[in-house]
Amino acid sequence: MTNRSPSPIILLGTRFLSPYIMVFGFYVIFHGHYSPGGGFQGGTLLAVSLLLIRIASGTQIANLQFKDYLATPYAALGVVIYFGTGLVAMIMGGYFLDYEQLPIPGLEAADLRYWGILIIELGIGLTVMTVLTLIYDNMVKGEDYA
Amino acid sequence: MKYLKLLLIIAFTLLLLFAASDLPYRGEADNQMNQEISMTGTPVPGNYYIQEAYNDAHTPNIVTVILGDYRSIDTLGEQIVIFTAGLIVFLLLRNRKEDEENDQ
ipTM attached to this prediction = 0.86
Query: Touching check for A82 and chain B: CB below 8 Å?
Result: yes
pTM of the model: 0.82
pLDDT digits (tens, 9 = 90+) for A90-140: 998 888 888 888 888 888 888 999 999 999 999 999 999 999 999 998 888
pLDDT above 70 covers a percentage of chain B that reads: 90
- Whether residue A57 is contained in a domain is answered as yes
**Domain count of the fold of chain A:** 1
Burial pattern B61-82, b for ≥16 Cβ within 10 A else e, equals bbebbbbbbbbbeebbebbeeb
- Chain A nearest-CA distance from B99, in A, is 12
Nearest CA in chain A to B56: A110
Domain that holds residue A118: 8-139
Residues with Cβ within 8 Å of A111's Cβ and at least 6 positions away in sequence, in order, are B58
- Residue A49's pLDDT is 94
- Residue B96's pLDDT is 57
- Residue A1's pLDDT is 46
Higher pLDDT, B101 or A58: A58
- Whether residue A145 is contained in a domain is answered as no
- Whether residue A94 is contained in a domain is answered as yes
- Whether residue A40 is contained in a domain is answered as yes
pLDDT band at A37 (very low <50, low <70, confident <90, very high): confident
Angstrom distance (rounded) from CA B11 to CA A20: 51
- Whether residue A77 is contained in a domain is answered as yes
